[in-house]
Structure formats: structure tokens, C-alpha cells
Amino acid sequence: MTTPETSTPDTRANSDTLHSTGSDVLRPGWGYASVTDKIAGIVLTDKFGWRWWSAFLAASAGVFALLAAVTWLLVKGIGIWGIDIPVAWGFAIGNFVWWIGIGHAGTFISAVLLLLRQKWRTSINRFAEAMTLFAASIAGLFPILHLGRPWFFYWLVPYPNVMNVWPQWRSPLVWDFFAIATYLTVSLLFWYVGLIPDLATLRDRAGQRGERKSQIAYGLLALGWRGEARQWARFEWAYLLLAGLATPLVVSVHTIVSLDFAVGNTPGYHSTIFPPYFVAGALFSGFAMVLTLAIPLRHAFGLQDFITGRHLANAAKVLLATCWMVSYGYLAEIFTAFYSGDVYERYMTINRFTGPYGPVYIAMLTCNVLVPQLFWLRKVRHNVVWLFVLSLVINCGMWMERFLIVVTSLHRDYLPSSWGMFYPTRWDWITLLGSIALFVWLFLLFVRFLPLISIAEMRELVRENAKGKA
């Protein structure tokens, strides 16, 4: 047990009358004041240390590289990427699907695990929601950049215009626009509503520490939250309704993304397995990213008491389950290709194994199917280093899957005379790595300015824990 830090000199206010007795999801010895001060203290500190600053500078360098790549794209056009006919969808669309997939776990954790009353949700939902928000925002950039003339992206919005045209309502690409825009907005609402009580805590903590500027900033964002029982009742009810609404939304978003492919009659795209297969893949990569973020976070801020081994092991179990769903998707794809008797589908499947992108396919199967089987071992599920490494392996594997779905079907479809290859250019790589840097950059700012664990829910957990209910 670590001793809770006491940052305020006021001993009267610090005396916690009730302490957590300890359980799988919360270590013993924590009270309302100590969890508040611990989590709020991460934000309300003057010094953030060289580790944060060096990570921030490195990420900023990556963000500048991304800005440069995007600027060059706007100047020269999308010909700077390796895309051409026949592979007109390259990294950009693969990155889009990958990022939006990562953006699924946050809302899944927040909404579905809330509805299922899973106690291990409490300490991971906040940063997972932030992850969702950032990943979905970055995902949204890629189709826009891929438009050719990105500055006309607002043509996707149905509005009365002098051109007298409407979006093509029967196109999955327009459905996609609605799905992503809704998902981003609802995720933002969910995240912000959940933050309000914590923003009020930060307002009052900053005020108590005499930090006027922080007090005003958090005070404005907290909208004057007082924590009155009536406010709480409505807050909880609205939050529950949002969870109920976000649950079908999560499933719909990647379903619609998959329809971008499945509605087209390209071999390898035109498949009814795509919607569930994409949703399972999204949860798989999303939970992998949750682990990739949770493990450094708990280490950097000493949050092992809140984000316990139980949280990480549960995430590993979800990964194992979703790994099998994804594997089923791979199997179903292969089976259907041969069972259909369609020569193009069959060739596409054989080409995936033995064609020019074959090594990527084998590497993908290794990362997504073979390696995650290590999660069967209890030792692996409870070993932080293993979990971190495996989460990175799965992230890579899922990126390869998205890349392969986009590229292998396009590069050899019906007409052998129009076959071709896709080779990424340096701008493709800079844009991909730059988007990862942007994600890290946004996340670093998030942990600097907002509480990365829900303080109010942790206090509730302390009470339930002390009463022996959690």
C-alpha cells in the first residue's frame, strides 16, 4: 500500500473518515480526500517534470512533420502519396479505418461497461474516452485529406447551395460522414458531461491553492456545478441515457465504415461478414490501445492503486475474446471465398497469402491471431511488460489488417491488364507517423490539463469499497 499524498496543510479537511478496505479494483487506504488530491494533484502541479516535457517536445516535432506533410499535400495534391490507379485508396483510408477502430474502445468501456455495472470501468473510462475522442478526430482527418480538394470537404454536408446538388444519400461515403460526425459529437458530449463534477473539483482545489487563473478556467468549464442532490440525480440519469444511446452508436459506426467496402463489388470487399468483423476488429485494436496508454500512465503518475493488475488483466481477457472474433472473421473470409466458387474471390484469397503483399498478411496473422494466444496464460495477463509489448504487437497487427483490406483487393481485381502495385512514399509514412505523434501530443495535453481518472466516480467507488460492495 502506498501512503496517500497529502498536499493541503489543512489537516481538518484532510481527515478522511472512511477508507477503502481494498479489493481487486481499488487498493486499501484511500478516502474521499486522498483520491481527490491524488488525481487533482496530477493536474494542479506547477512542475510537470522533464519526462513530460521531453515527450511533449518529441510529439510536437512529429506534429510539425505532419503539418509539413499536409501542407505539401495541399500544395501538390494527393499524387505525393503512393496511390494511383488501380490502388486509389492507400494509407489514408487504411489509417482512417485503423484510427476509427481505436476510437471504439473508449465509448465501449464508458457506455457498455456502465450499463453492465462493471466496477473495473471506473478508473479507466476517462482516459479511454479521451483516447476515443482524439483517435476519432484524427480518423476524420484522413478521408478529408484524401478528397483531392480537401478545402471543399463541406460539400459532404447537406445544405442548400447555389450548385443545386445534394450529397448522394445512397452512398456509404455519405453515411460515413454522418456516422463519424455523430460519433465525434456524442463522444464529446459524453466525455464533457462526465467531466463536469471533476472540473468543479479542480475549480475548488485551484481556488484553495490560490491559483486564480486555473480557478477561473476550470470554473467556467464546470458551469457552476455544486453537487446538489437534484443536480446529481439528473446528471446520473442523463449520463445513463447517453450510455444507452452511445452503445448502438459504437456498433453502428464501424458497421458503416465497413459498408464503405462491403457495398462495392470488389473481390475481398463484397462480403456480409464485414460489419461484425470490423466492429470486433475495432474493439480489438481499441483495447490494445487502452493497454498501450494505461501501462505508461499508471507508471508515470503512480496510479497502481487505482489502475490495478485486475484492470489490465480484464483488458487482456477482452483482447483474447475479440482476437477470436477477428480470427473468425479471417476464417469466414477464406471459407466464403472458396465456398462461393467465385474465381476472383478465390484468387484474391490465394493472392493474400502468396502475392506481393503475402509477407504482410502472414505478419498480420501472427500479430493478430497467433501472438495474442499468450493471453491464455495467467502469468502473461498479470505481467505489465508482456501486456505492454503484446498491446503494441496488436496495434501493429491491426494496422496491417486495415492496410491489407484496402490494398490487396484493389491491386489485383477483375482485369489482369489493370493490375498494379502500391508502394508507400515518404509522405505516406510521415503522415502515418505524424498522426500517431498528433495523438500522443493531444493525449499529453489531456493528462496535463484534465483529470485522467474520474474523481467523482472514484469517490463513489471508495464508499462502495468501504462498505464491502466493490
Which of 457, 390, 461, 470 has its CA nearest to residue 232?
457
The whole-angstrom separation of Cα 449 and Cα 222 is: 14
Nearer to other proteins, 33 or 291 (CB): 33
> Tell me, what amino acid is at 459?
R
Number of residues located near other proteins, criterion CB under 8 A: 69
CB closer to other proteins, 242 vs 380 = 242
What's the rounded Cα separation, in Å, for the pair 470 and 20? 10
Distance separating alpha carbons of residues 262 and 256, to the nearest angstrom? 9
Q: Smallest Cα–Cα separation from 38: which of 191, 205, 204, 281? A: 205
If one asks whether residue 270 binds other proteins (CB under 8 A), the answer comes out as: no
* 3-state DSSP assignment of residue 307: coil
How buried is residue 241: exposed, middle or buried, by Cβ count under 10 Å (0-12/13-18/19+)? exposed
Report the nearest approach of other proteins to the CB of residue 1 (Å). 19
Nearest to 122 by CA among 467, 462, 454, 470: 454
State yes or no: residue 237 binds other proteins (CB under 8 A). yes
d(CA 73, CA 428): 10
C-alpha distances in Å from residue 117, one per residue of 192, 213, 294, 401: 21, 38, 21, 32
Identify which of 110, 56, 37, 1 has the alpha carbon closest to the alpha carbon of residue 442: 56
Sorted by sequence, the CB contacts under 8 Å of residue 346 that are 6+ apart come out as 337, 338, 340
Q: Of 51-59, 109-117, 183-191, 408-416, which segment contacts other proteins by CB under 8 A?
A: 183-191
- Residues of span 66-95 touching other proteins by CB under 8 A: none
Q: Does 259 bind other proteins (CB under 8 A)?
A: yes
| The one among 58, 65, 80, 189 contacting other proteins by CB under 8 A | 189
Please say which residue, 66 or 206, places its beta carbon nearer to other proteins: 206
Among residues 249, 294, 288, the alpha carbon closest in space to that of 401 is found at: 288
Q: Is 453 in the site for other proteins (CB under 8 A)?
A: no
Is 235 among the residues that bind other proteins (CB under 8 A)?
yes
Binding residue for other proteins, selected from 7, 20, 36, 408, defined by CB under 8 A: 36
Q: Which of 72, 155, 232, 328 binds other proteins (CB under 8 A)?
A: 232
Q: Give CA–CA dist 197/378, Å, rounded.
A: 37
- Per CB under 8 A, the list member of 57, 157, 238, 331 interacting with other proteins is 238
Question: With respect to other proteins, which residue has the nearer C-beta, 238 or 331?
Answer: 238
Three-class SS state of 147: coil
> What's the min distance (Å) between Cβ of 4 and other proteins?
12
Q: Which stretch binds other proteins (CB under 8 A): 179-187, 277-285, 308-316, 340-348?
A: 179-187
* CA angle (115, 120, 125) in 5-degree steps: 70
Residues between 196 and 225 with contacts to other proteins, criterion CB under 8 A? 196-197, 200-201, 203-205, 207-208, 219-220, 223-225
CB of 413 to other proteins, least distance (A): 23
5 binds other proteins (CB under 8 A): no
Does 233 sit near other proteins (CB under 8 A)? yes
Touching other proteins, residues 16-35 (CB under 8 A): 16-18, 31-33
Please name the residues in contact with 190: beta carbons below 8 A apart, sequence gap of 6 or more. 107, 110, 111, 129, 239, 242, 243, 246
Question: Cβ of residue 269: shortest distance to other proteins, in angstroms?
Answer: 17
Nearest residue (CB) to other proteins, 20 versus 201: 201
Write down how long the chain is. Answer: 470
* Site of interaction with other proteins (CB under 8 A): 13, 16-18, 31-33, 36-37, 158, 164-167, 169-170, 172, 174-175, 178-179, 181-182, 185-186, 189-190, 193, 196-197, 200-201, 203-205, 207-208, 219-220, 223-238, 241-242, 245-246, 248-249, 252, 256, 259, 456-457, 459-460, 463
